[in-house]
Amino acid sequence: MVNDYCLSSFKLMTIATTILALLPVLTSSVRGSDVMIPMAIPSFGGDVLAVVTVFVVPTLYCILKERRVRG
């Protein structure tokens, strides 16, 4: 149980730093940004989706488990 929590927290910290590092790339308008922005968009979107998945999947699982226990 503790190992799962540690792995999850390390994953979230890694994703958070990646998202924060990509924000300046996504918002830049300097020379070369026309090449960097299209490369940063899939990484940013994938990391945002990973964060949403980390929070949504366990929540949905708990909701379904509670319905089965009550029903």
Q: Hey, where are the domains in the chain?
A: 2-70
Residues in the chain: 71
Q: 5-9, 25-29, 65-69: which has the minimum mean pLDDT?
A: 5-9
pLDDT tens, position by position, 10-65:
888 888 899 999 999 999 999 988 999 999 999 999 999 988 888 888 889 999 99
44 CB burial (10 A radius; 0-12, 13-18, 19+): middle
Report whether 54 contacts 8 (CB < 8 A).
yes
